[in-house]
Amino acid sequence: MDATSSAFPENSRRALADERLQEALHRLADGFPARRREAVDRLPEFDQLRAQARAVKDHVLENLDSYLERFAAKVEEAGGHVHWCRDALEARQTVLRICRDAGARTVTKSKSMVGEEIAINEHLEAHGIEPVETDLGEYIIQLRREAPSHLIAPAIHLSKDQVTETFKAAHGEFPVGRRLDEPRAMLDEARTVLRKRFVEADVGITGANMIIAETGTAVVVTNEGNADLTMTLPKVHIAITGIEKVVPTLDDAVTVLRLLARSATGQDVTVYTTFATGPRRDDDVDGPDAFHVVLLDNGRSALMESDFRDILRCIRCGACLNHCPVYSAVGGHAYGWVYSGPMGSVLNPGLVGIEEAHHLPNASTFCGACEEVCPVGIPLPKMLRHWRERAFRARAVGATGRAGMRAWAFLALRPRLYRAVTGAVMAVLGALGRRRGRFRRLPLAGGWTVARDLAAPQGPTFISQWAQRRRERS
Amino acid sequence: MSSDSPNVALFVTCLVDLMRPSVGFAAVKLLEDAGCAVSVPATQTCCGQPAYNAGDRADARAIARQVIEAFEGFTYVVAPSGSCAAMIKIHYPGLLADEPGWAARAEALAGRTHELTQFLSDVLEVDEIAAQYQGIVTHHDGCSGLREMGIKEQPRALLGRIGGLALRESPKAEACCGFGGTFCVKYPEISAHILDEKIDDIAATGADTVIAGDLGCLLNIAGRLKRRGLAVKARHIAEVLAGSTAAAIGEP
Ligand code: SF4
């Protein structure tokens, strides 16, 4: 996926003007946060779990190499294969090679953000292999050739009508005049189409919400069961995931799972939680003949050694998106790359570079709602600020903004000069604005006055009035 | 003023100093009424948040050192702003953590710094407010005050002691108003969108006045209320508690 993060201002203007998107975002904002709240209230030990999960993740990051090696050894022991991939290119090539070796013509896929990160669908297509997304939301956006706009609700930006249109255009095998206005009907139709694809597929690709070091297991959660069909029906199962997803034990995985669904959708647990360990054993009733895990670094090791290490605790629950006023205003596509919302604004600059993504850490009010809900306590605002500091040092911020900021700081550090300059400006503005009490327009204040009036200053500054009062009193 | 009255330095905040001194005088009145001896160090300018949030760490540190110097020697430092108080209390220690000599001074200042309503409620335990206010108000929780400083009950408790005042809560009182410092001018369309949701919520309460503890939020909210031609007034909590007669924000 080509990044368009540098066009964030234009992307967001388009998003704000898109009425259907705005309706969809309102539905999201009215749904997930309230359901999360209820789920959290139902679980008295939620905060304790949070601390526990955070500790697990921090411990893993301290000892990442050894846990990954342990995981790899266990996978091999169970008859599977682990592929270490430094970047997206290596991961794409690895997946393609496995698919080719399996003689694959079609592959089914369950939802994977790492799959988006390495743009695996485009790569397979370019090499004559057809990828079929099987998560309903992912399936819809694949038909529309769009990118996911949310970590856990990839088609959240679409209205029901748009899905109807998409299905009518794509599913030529069904009667033209069929009714397709209810979600149930759409689901049934998608099922009918996908059932055939599940059976045909030669390879199934899933993500992994976690990988477990002590057992060599990939954990995959869904609400639709599509990951199970993706990983058990074809001959080959490939799980692609980031290196930071490893946890030491099954118990640790359970700790994270208890937080994940509650934080994401407000469910106590997802409908399907699948633990995949190795290929099919002799006494298994089903399962793939081969099991591959593709472990992607793609900039994560570099983040390990930086101010941004904490973001590697992320479990991709989406709570920070759901509670973010900026995400809620513009949706996921405006961010211009795979990840969006607060976690994306921290992660994307690390993965595609701060030059491309410099808007993202700046497009935050620092309201702190994300950090408040993050189940693994990631200090997202602090990390956004770290990116701003890097961008400032690298002079990647706009020259005018930078000059204005430095001028303000210059004054703030010289109290006498500050008093003289600000006192004069406020006196003038105070006099000019006295009659109406506010300005509709003011030179140099265009950013403010596009949307709001500017209250006129009252006149003499507090400090000068205070000094006056002291003089009069003494 | 007796010699054992608490010795309080007012951190006015740049916005109050420049835009709305009446908030500063209201804060002084509240503190003096509660028995404090109030000083206003003359070398104060700004807490440094604009630089800090723009990623200009060097300037932010220099400003932090200046504030520390200006405010040492007082028992308490009080600011009529959740976000400026949070800057001093929460962020200065981190900002100066690796500067020998300054780290401890930053910690010490942080320990003595309070937001106004927090100070009145939690430290001074003020339980009488003389002011009267005829009307229905709603309270907007500024983000830094709420999430960094834990300010939620204090302003409500104080408002509850004002005769005539009826508080009507918005279910979205904790939602951001879209100000975000320079965010609102860098991404004006997004800011306006967030702000409009805030304005709609405020209007839906039926309150005649929106009250908050941060002038940044208030200038933002008042500016949009006026632009949309709504009659709801915007006021800083210090003014309401002190019975200030200043015109509401943005009014002549
Ligand atoms: S940063 Fe936290 S809240 Fe956001 S997706 Fe990751 S785990 Fe969830």
Cβ <8 Å between A325 and B176: yes
Write down which residue in A268, A298, A328 finishes a domain. Answer: A298
Ligand 1 center to residue A156 CA distance, Å?
Answer: 18
**CA-based radius of gyration for chain B:** 18
**Cβ neighbours, 10 Å, residue A146:** 15
- pLDDT, tens digit (0-9, with 9 covering 90-100), for A289-300: 999 999 999 999
pLDDT at res. A396: 66
Res B1 pLDDT > 60: no
**Residue A262, min C-alpha distance to chain B (Å):** 21
- pLDDT, tens digit (0-9, with 9 covering 90-100), for A250-280: 999 999 999 999 999 999 999 999 999 999 9
Q: Which residues contact A373 (CB under 8 A, 6 or more apart)?
A: A33, A36, A263, A319, A320, A322, A323
- A238 within some domain: yes
Res A444 pLDDT > 80: no
Which residue in A392, A422, A455 is closest to B56 by CB distance? Answer: A392
Res A90 pLDDT > 60: yes
- A68 within some domain: yes
Give the residue among A357, A341, A247, A256 at the shortest CA–CA distance from A299.
A357
pLDDT at res. A1: 67
Long-range contacts of A14-19 (CB under 8 A, 24+ apart): A14/A334, A15/A329, A15/A330, A15/A331, A15/A333, A15/A334, A16/A329, A16/A330, A16/B189, A16/B190, A16/B193
Q: Which two tokens stand for residue A404?
A: 């204005």
- A2 within some domain: no
pLDDT at res. A419: 94
- pLDDT over 90 percentage in chain A: 87
- pLDDT, tens digit (0-9, with 9 covering 90-100), for A331-352: 999 999 999 999 999 999 999 9
Same domain as A416, residue A280: no
- pLDDT, tens digit (0-9, with 9 covering 90-100), for B26-78: 999 999 999 999 999 999 999 999 999 999 999 999 999 999 999 999 999 99
Distance CA A90, CA A382 (A): 32
Distance CA B240, CA B252 (A): 18
One-character DSSP codes across B157-204: HHHTTSEEEEE---TTTTS--S-TTTHHHHSHHHHHHHHHHHHHHHHH
- A85 within some domain: yes
Name which of A237-241, A390-394, B246-250 the model is least confident about.
A390-394
Which residue in A366, A438, A456 is closest to B180 by CB distance? Answer: A366
Q: What is the CATH number of the domain that holds A105?
A: 3.40.50.10420
From residue A460, how far is each of A327, A426, A441, A463, B235 by CA, in Å?
40, 7, 21, 8, 19
Which residue in B55, B192, B220 is closest to A389 by CB distance? Answer: B55
Same domain as A125, residue A241: yes
Write down which residue in A267, A298, A329 finishes a domain. Answer: A298
- pLDDT, tens digit (0-9, with 9 covering 90-100), for A166-223: 999 999 899 988 888 888 999 999 999 999 999 999 999 999 999 999 999 999 999 9
Q: Whose CA is nearest to atom 4 of ligand 1?
A: A320
Beta strand A217-222 with A210-212 is: antiparallel
- A138 within some domain: yes
Label residue A474 by pLDDT band (50, 70, 90).
Answer: confident
- A383 within some domain: no
**Which chain A residues touch B233 with a CB distance below 8 Å?**
none
Label residue A107 by pLDDT band (50, 70, 90).
Answer: very high
- A293 within some domain: yes
Read off the pLDDT of each residue in A415-430 and give the average, rounded to a whole number: 94
Domain enclosing residue A233, as ranges = 43-298
pLDDT at res. B167: 97
Any CB–CB contact under 8 A between B205 and chain A? Answer: no
**Residue A36, min C-alpha distance to chain B (Å):** 16
Name which of A43-52, A76-85, A131-140, B3-12 the model is least confident about.
B3-12
Number of domains present in the structure of chain A? 2
**Cβ neighbours, 10 Å, residue B35:** 14
- A75 within some domain: yes
**Which chain A residues touch B147 with a CB distance below 8 Å?**
367-369, 371-372
Any CB–CB contact under 8 A between B169 and chain A? Answer: no
Label residue B96 by pLDDT band (50, 70, 90).
Answer: very high
Q: Whose CA is nearest to atom 2 of ligand 1?
A: A374
Same domain as A282, residue A405: no
**Cβ neighbours, 10 Å, residue B127:** 10
Beta strand A272-277 with B113-115 is: unpaired
Give me the domains of chain B, ranges plus CATH numbers: 7-122 (no CATH), 130-242 (3.40.50)
Same domain as A199, residue A77: yes
Name which of A92-96, A374-378, A450-454, B61-65 the model is least confident about.
A450-454
- pLDDT over 70 percentage in chain B: 99
Same domain as A233, residue A121: yes
Distance CA A203, CA A104 (A): 6
- pLDDT, tens digit (0-9, with 9 covering 90-100), for A111-146: 999 999 999 999 999 999 999 999 999 999 999 999
Res A391 pLDDT > 70: yes
Distance CA A154, CA A159 (A): 12
Read off the pLDDT of each residue in A300-315 and give the average, rounded to a whole number: 94
pLDDT at res. A394: 81
What is the widest separation between alpha-carbon atoms in chain B? 53
pLDDT at res. A20: 93
Q: Is the CB of A374 under 6 A from ligand 1?
A: yes
Judge contact between A247 and A256, C-beta under 8 A. Answer: yes
**Which chain A residues touch B46 with a CB distance below 8 Å?**
408, 412
Ligand 1 center to residue A260 CA distance, Å?
Answer: 9
Pocket test for ligand 1, best of A313, A343, A371 (most atoms within 8 A of CB): A343
Any CB–CB contact under 8 A between B110 and chain A? Answer: no
Write down which residue in A248, A279, A298 finishes a domain. Answer: A298
**Residue B97, min C-alpha distance to chain A (Å):** 15
Read off the pLDDT of each residue in A429-454 and give the average, rounded to a whole number: 89
Label residue B4 by pLDDT band (50, 70, 90).
Answer: confident
